[in-house]
Amino acid sequence: MHLAYPAVLAVLLFCTGLYGVLARRNAILVLMSVELMLNAVNLNLVAFDVWLRDALHSGQALTLFIIAIAAAEIGIGLAIVLAVYRNRGSSDVDRLRDTAETDEAETLPGDEETDDAAHGTADQATASAGKAKKAEATA
C-alpha cells in the first residue's frame, strides 16, 4: 500500500477542519471541524501503523484512545453550547467573549466616590457610561 494516498486524504481532511475552525462563527460547526481534524490524525496514525508493520499496533491503539477522548470532548462541548444557547439565544462564537465578563468589570476604576456618605452608592449616569464604554470595547 502506498502511504501517499491516505496521507494526502488526511492532509485534505485536516485543512478542511482547520478552515472550519478559523472561518466559522457557529460553535457547533467549529466542534464538527475539530472532529474532522481529529479524524485526519486518526487516519494518519492507522496508515503509518500499517506502513511500518508495527507488531504492537500502537498506532491503532492510540487511535482508539483518541476516539474515546473525541467522544467525551464532543459531549462536553455540546453541553456547553446548549447552555450558552439557552442563556444567550445564539451559539455565535464572537458573542461568547461577553460570557467571561463579570459585574466587577462594569465599574470603571475612577468611578468610586471619595465622600464617605456617598461611598456605597454609584452615580447612575457614570454606571451607564461605563457600560456603554464596555459594550463599545467588546463590539
Q: Give tens-digit pLDDT for 13-61.
A: 999 999 999 998 889 999 999 999 999 999 999 999 999 998 899 999 9
Q: Can you name the residues that pair with 92 across neighbouring β-strands? A: 26
- Sequence-separated (6 or more) residues with CB below 8 Å from residue 20: 29, 30, 32, 33, 36
Name the residue type at position 78.
L
Of 50 and 114, the one with more pLDDT? 50
- Per-residue pLDDT at 31: 93
pLDDT-above-70 percentage for the chain: 69
